[in-house]
Amino acid sequence: MMLDKRMNYSCAYWHKAMTLEDAQEAKLELICRKMGLKPGMRVLDIGCGWGGFAKYAAEKFDVKVTGVTVSREQVEYARKDCQGLDVDIKLQDYRELNDEFERIISIGMFEHVGSKNFKTFMKVVHRCLVTNGLFLLHTIAGNSSVNSTDQWINKYIFPNSMLPSAKQITIAAEGLFVLEDWHSFGQYYDKTLMAWYQNFTENWDQIKDGYDERFYRMWAYYLLSCAGSFRARRNQLWQVVFSKQGIRGGYQDRA
């Protein structure tokens, strides 16, 4: 009732879209095109959420997707939603991954890794990515390097989360990857959050029996304050494309 039909809980791509549904589909298409997906490719989705990307990529690009998450609820939902497709959703910590993939993506999960694990995360991706593969990191970010998040957000919304800086991302990737492309579109998170807020408030009467007014105020504050932070450009949204050894002739953005 808050998200789109694919249950994408990450920034939509509003470049040419007018609705949340279209903007979220455009985001998934953007990632698939940036990765140059071809039929039969093995794709890893680290922090697969409710399986929105896995289902889209398998349906539209005929690839084999493995998604990992530490949420049992997400595993149950995604497995059911992706039934009949070449999609394998696993309840697994990303640090346990050892299989090889031609493409690796991570959408809105890096914010929950923590600064002490940034290098570990990149090493896992490097270990699992074939030599000529590509890796796309989609993450909220901040303008300064920090090791914690806003205390209210930490207590009520995203415990133990933190937003990486450009410096922290590049230091973590140094010695492992070649940076091929850096795309910033944090202005679209403002629109995404406002769309979620509209959905939440319009559907409140259908769900309010399971919550209370305190939750309503808390959730509204969360959505609106985050929208304000993106609108003020205090928060950023980046999609960064990496290769292991550099692409001969250069990376071509296929989006």
Residues catalogued as catalytic: 226
Q: Which residues contact 80 (CB under 8 A, 6 or more apart)?
A: none
Q: Which residues contact 205 (CB under 8 A, 6 or more apart)?
A: none
CB-based contact 9:71 (threshold 8 Å)? no
- Tokens found for residue 182: 């850096």
Stated as kind and residue range, the H or E segment containing 224 is helix 213-231
Stated as kind and residue range, the H or E segment containing 107 is strand 101-107
Burial (CB < 10 A; 0-12, 13-18, 19+), residue 254, is: exposed
Residue type, 171: I
How many C-beta neighbours within 10 Å does residue 119 have? 17
